[in-house]
Structure 1
């Protein structure tokens, strides 16, 4: 009896077509080389046809194989959509939204509005650098994200929500704590706390110091905003953050830096093709948050 054309077989054919070898397909699918080769060779023998020809060290698909691979791609798209659908539900079946944030604010304020209007929605938050969060959106690991300076890109649905700038932060006991602003040249003489590469905050700081012809060496490099905040509050040095990056006001003072450069727009964004009730819900809450800001009513 002929074996049926299973989804696993179609997936294997598509993987070999993409990788050009059984070994590459095995790595892609997390299976053994033997499992892939036996599956495809067995199908060829059973059906009396050839799916691949070896050419210059690679397995090249036959015209029939290319057609099967195209079918496989469509099936895998359906499978991926099913996985995404399940990811939007928690174990109890309730809607679950995945949100990526570079800074706690203003994203947490928007999440607060979502929860207030839709108390049955479960929300998980992924925090990280600018680069990490953009990658999470592109890989569909989060549904929607909030980051500064997301450029116009046809891949993204975007909503600018507020304009903000980077400020210096110092502890309450720091000599600069009584000031309201500080110049870059004076900051260069301080013990500084920088963010790691990929941080949008650090990109602004690096550009500002470079324009001023300054190259200070930091005392500490931290990979998260919270780590910078805690280090500053402990008096380790002077750090930097977006002015509205948090609503916390304990243990630190914000100082304007007049020559740090222009501000940045905080952007709510999601993949343009990801139109679903969850992302729509978040965008509506972001619009409400922006209206409140314009009315000078911060949530």
Structure 2
């Protein structure tokens, strides 16, 4: 058996299937069926048509619109929540970055302070070491001056020690004579304290110095003196000028080394100077 597909009715007997608009209102274009005849004709046509006419459902349209509005509201709410979360995350990152910056700055300041502290300590240590070295150098110089000796005058020896002769009360020369013209500076052979400074008939103007090793030295026949009793002298300090005062035949410097400050306790003056490193 063959079937013939009849075309769908058109015109006023068939309404287009696009019935409802998303506005929640009744579809426009639907004719109001006022006459009973018209309604009957339309109903008969509809009964003979395979498809039923679509009648708009206002309630369903309104519910759908409300659902769409609710969906749109939910979407907006979720979007707002997402934006707030992004903003909070950005703020957290900003605060974390600021905290890190402050921590790095504090670390830098602490490192700078530690470096400055170490530098100051190093400079103080160097300064202390240099001061100690300077004190040690001064002390060494003082010891050198205290223990070092020089010639009374920079010249040679005329008459030596213990040369015999009737011109000396002891029967021999109790010291050595250094050649020097009048006015030649005479120096302390070593550091010490002046115990005699004045005139003696035989020695003329003379100075006796007690040294740290307990030995006394005498320089005699000077034209003038530069020190006084009780004065502390250093090695090489000028104590007077050479001359020809006292029992002499001409200008020179008579030099003695003694175990006491008194006459008669003499020892070899050349050997004494050599024992203190003086080349003579």
TM class, shorter-chain normalised? under 0.3
Relative contact order, higher structure (CA 8 A, sep 6+): 1
Q: What is the TM-score with the length of structure 2 in the denominator?
A: 0.22
Q: What is the TM-score with the length of structure 1 in the denominator?
A: 0.21
